[in-house]
């Protein structure tokens, strides 16, 4: 596997919740899983640390980031500020083909939830917001939204209430309808409400205690 492929595997495992916040990312263990030396794993972990997905503690090693309650609130507030601007721009620019792309993502997410594939559904939730960002045509905005969505995925994995999925399908469909109607103010308001609903779905009185082993997170690799 290439370094980029290993990075993507670890990133996806974090985003999809196969690696829980706080999980230890041992370089030797990861090296065995991916069949490479730990010297190749180290820079990949630092790359993830630069994106706030991993924390590296001196003498202790690397761990999946475990956002605090204050950080959870700050990330959601940042998303509301940034993504209100995103959806205003998209409402002015969106073409029918782009709206179809958004609807296709929602269909795929609905199918994943119906099949009990929570990891894929969670990934598609983030993909929807990243697709909106790409429609602005601004790569800086795309990178910013991708980082915020990734960090929020950790927040949701850690603090989500039982039976809640974070972003709602109805919320995504409502955003598409507002964009299609060309109502910029209504679209912006819908985005704020949608992201506030994500915050309201969290239990911020509990710092969580989920754990999962590295081997379990990457079990699909042994099936190839």
Give the architecture (CATH level 2) of 69-200: Up-down Bundle (1.20)
Angle between helix axes 169-181 and 118-134 (nearest 10 degrees) is 20
- Domain residue ranges of the chain, discontinuous segments joined by +: 3-66+207-223, 69-200
Joined together, the tokens standing for residue 134 give 């790409």
CA angle at residue 64 from 13 to 123, to 5 degrees? 30
Q: The pTM is what? A: 0.79
DSSP 128: H
Joined together, the tokens standing for residue 175 give 């955003």
Joined together, the tokens standing for residue 157 give 């994995």
Distance in angstroms (rounded) separating the CA atoms of residues 148 and 49: 14
pLDDT by residue, tens only, the chain of 224 residues: 899 999 999 998 888 788 888 999 999 999 999 999 999 999 999 999 999 999 999 889 999 999 999 999 999 999 999 999 999 999 999 999 999 999 999 999 999 989 988 888 888 999 999 999 999 999 999 999 999 999 998 898 888 876 555 567 788 999 999 999 999 999 999 999 999 999 998 888 754 444 456 666 676 776 66
Fold classification of 3-66+207-223 is Arc Repressor Mutant, subunit A (1.10.10)
């Amino acid at each position: 596997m290439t370094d980029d492929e290993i990075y993507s595997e670890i990133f996806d495992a974090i985003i999809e919740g196969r690696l829980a916040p706080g999980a230890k990312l041992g370089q030797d263990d990861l090296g065995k899983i991916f069949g490479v030396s730990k010297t190749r794993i180290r820079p990949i972990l630092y790359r993830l640390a630069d994106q706030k997905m991993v924390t590296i503690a001196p003498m202790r090693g690397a761990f999946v980031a475990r956002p605090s309650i204050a950080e959870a609130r700050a990330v959601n507030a940042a998303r509301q500020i940034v993504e209100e601007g995103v959806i205003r721009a998209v409402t002015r620019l969106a073409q029918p083909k782009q709206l179809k792309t958004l609807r296709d993502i929602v269909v795929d997410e609905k199918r994943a939830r119906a099949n009990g594939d929570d990891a894929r559904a969670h990934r598609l939730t983030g993909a929807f917001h990243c697709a909106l960002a790409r429609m602005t045509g601004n790569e800086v905005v795309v990178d910013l939204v991708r980082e915020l969505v990734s960090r929020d995925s950790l927040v949701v994995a850690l603090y989500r209430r039982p039976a809640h999925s974070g972003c709602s399908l109805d919320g995504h469909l409502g955003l598409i309808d507002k964009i299609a109607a060309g109502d910029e103010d209504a679209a912006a308001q819908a985005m704020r409400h949608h992201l506030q609903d994500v915050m309201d779905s969290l239990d911020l009185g509990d710092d969580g205690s989920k754990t999962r082993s590295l081997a379990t997170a990457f079990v699909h690799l042994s099936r190839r």
